[in-house]
Structure 1
Amino acid sequence: MADVQWLSIDILPIDEQFLQLLEHKQLKKDMSVYKEVIQYVLHQLQTDKDVKTARVMKIIGQDIPEITALGNALLQNSKDSAPVAQELYRQAMLAGDDQGSFSYASMLYRGYGGTPTDEEEATKLFSRLSKKGHPYAQMNLASIIMRSHPQRVSDAIQLYELAGKSGVSDAYMELGRMYRLGYGVHQDHQKAKHYFQQGTENGMSNPRCHFMLGVYCSSPENESDLRKAFQHFQVAAAKGLPEAQYNVGLRYLKGQGVDANPYNAAEFFTMASLQDFQIAQVNLANMYLHGNGIKKDMNKASYWFGKAAALGGTIGNEAKSQLVQLQAKESNTCAVM
């Protein structure tokens, strides 16, 4: 068990955070109730005694989901609270809460915050929840199968499809990725596109699925496909995907699938650059360097070349070279003046 001797009631959210949790209905009881639960669980863990589910239930007013909600609140507040949160999830599981069981299994599998791992037990829990129709457990179990038992790929596919039908769009992303790369299956781009498409339908709008459809539509020979590519990239960009933001910027810059607009290109390159998307930083630096669509600004050009250079790699080395040249040019200009 992780060290809990130094933990105290301070792992609870402070009053301001607590009020926000109440406002967003993440918690719904008085702070005194949660303090009593934490004090009891902490005491039992620190004295190496069993936590009694009946006692926890009595304190929490028989509100089983609230045990899980308290565990969530603790983890949001501090990673140090992981041992207590894990025990709360275990208590919720013992009381019959599937979400608590899922959270407990997830912590068991990953060992979050220094808590002990037990992959075998976690897998059993994910399997049990999957049979009950828990979509995120189905996702996790499918992922475990693909890593540990690739010969059972058909089971993984079935689990991903069940999760997808329950509204977990990432399941369709995983299926599309498998068929695109030939991971555990024969490579099949038609099936890949089919699954990526499913991840954008029926109320789902998975940004990575949109991005991959944009990639598939990026054929320079077909203007109609280029327009579709731009639309997919645009949806993914609006959801914050930096590679999509870069691609929208690139298409505005080159006029592919949309009318050329350097100003808009710079806007989207900036969005991606702020998320450390390296090639967007280089493009943005060059736009500032040449005043393409935006006002020429040597300081900003240097800044973005520097940011890209700091990320290293081939692109980083090229950015560093451009930065050195820019600084040398500025130095010579100052010397002449």
Structure 2
Amino acid sequence: MPVTLFDNRFLPDTTRRAIIYLYRARFADNRTSHYTRRAIEMLLMAAEAGNISAASMLGIAYHEGWGRLPQDSSLAARWLQQAAAARHRLACYNLAILYDNGLGVEKNPNIARRYYTIAAKAGCSEAMYAVGTYYYWGHGIEPDYTKARKWFRRSAALGNAKAMQDLGRMYQRGVDGGRNAARAIRWFQQAVAAGDSRAHIGLGIEYAIKEEFPQARQHLELAAESDESHAMYLLGRWAEEGWDTPPNLADARFWFRAAAELGHEKAGFRLAGLEGEGF
């Protein structure tokens, strides 16, 4: 018989012990270890008794196939829905991901956005970022750059590097207002400090516009070292066009080839042009 009432008062000690076992499994770097199997047994016991947190973790466990559990997105959705009904923050966020990608449920961007929003309002920075991207790109709704910026700012305030990067990009491109290079640079710098290698590209572009080429090259090369294909493409254009030095077609080929191997289409076209291949 399905549990209809979910509350963390049910078997809290069992859930806590399950979390301890999961941490031990994490340190063992093995999700199929006996620690994980024991944790799953405890989570099942607690979730079936009605513990919200256990149901949420069990949903993730089914989605990823932890321990002896089969990877089953449908069962994952079932447990996440139980916990999300009680507005459990992480359950709402993970359930939104399932609806966003059609995993175990029919793909539905509107339902995904609703669960992302619930999780975001409960303080989940990743959910805030997801809501921002929905408004930015207009997934199932009209684009609303003002709301996108609002959610990116909230996410960035909690340390989300992707939100910082996208705020920088909005200011760089003049989305929802005029272009603001100073704010773009400030957000890109914060994103870099928080670990987003894409932000080096934004900084490289800004410094190139200002003709501060040594700094521009430094940032683009740092991004390229992190396998950012667009940075490689820009370095290829730099070498081909000679932004601050004479053109170097050998370097251009090198960078275009590196970017093309990572799937950058424009780099592939540029490389073909240098090699004398037509399209």
| TM-score using structure 2 length | 0.71
1:140 alignment partner, one of 75, 94, 100: 94
Task: For 1:152-171, list aligned pairs within 5 A.
Answer: 153=110, 156-171=112-127
CA distance in 1, matches of 2:108, 2:266: 39
**Residues 14, 42 of structure 2: 8 Å contact kept:** no
Secondary structure in structure 2 of the residue aligned to 1:184: coil
Secondary structure in structure 2 of the residue aligned to 1:117: coil
CA distance in 1, matches of 2:150, 2:54: 34
- Cα deviation, residue 246, structure 1: 0.7
Q: Are the structure 2 counterparts of residues 273 and 115 from structure 1 closer, same or farther at C-alpha, using a change threshold of 3 Å? A: farther
Provide Cα deviations, 1:205-257, integer angstroms capped at 9, x if missing partner: 322222222232234698772222222222223323233221111111112xx
| Structure 2 match to 1:268 | 219
Unaligned runs of 5+ in 1: 1-61, 326-337
- Cα deviation, residue 123, structure 1: 2.1
2:180 is equivalent to residue 225 of structure 1: yes
CA distance in 2, matches of 1:278, 1:152: 29
Identity across the alignment (%): 20
Secondary structure in structure 1 of the residue aligned to 2:159: coil
| Structure 1 match to 2:205 | 250
CA distance in 1, matches of 2:18, 2:68: 21
> Which structure is higher in RCO with an 8 Å CA cutoff and minimum separation 6?
2
CA distance in 1, matches of 2:149, 2:67: 38
**Residues 80, 92 of structure 2: 8 Å contact kept:** yes
- Cα deviation, residue 152, structure 1: 8.7
| Structure 1 match to 2:142 | 186
- Cα deviation, residue 112, structure 1: 5.7
CA distance in 2, matches of 1:180, 1:220: 13
Unaligned runs of 5+ in 2: 1-12
**Residues 89, 101 of structure 1: 8 Å contact kept:** no
Paired AA for residue 204 in structure 2: G
**Residues 36, 67 of structure 2: 8 Å contact kept:** no
Provide Cα deviations, 1:38-68, integer angstroms capped at 9, x if missing partner: xxxxxxxxxxxxxxxxxxxxxxxx7753433
- Cα deviation, residue 171, structure 1: 1.0
Q: Are the structure 2 counterparts of residues 82 and 303 from structure 1 closer, same or farther at C-alpha, using a change threshold of 3 Å? A: farther
Q: Are the structure 2 counterparts of residues 272 and 184 from structure 1 closer, same or farther at C-alpha, using a change threshold of 3 Å? A: same
| Structure 1 match to 2:7 | none
**Residues 89, 100 of structure 1: 8 Å contact kept:** no
| Structure 1 match to 2:189 | 234
Task: For 1:8-47, list aligned pairs within 5 A.
Answer: none
| TM-score using structure 1 length | 0.61
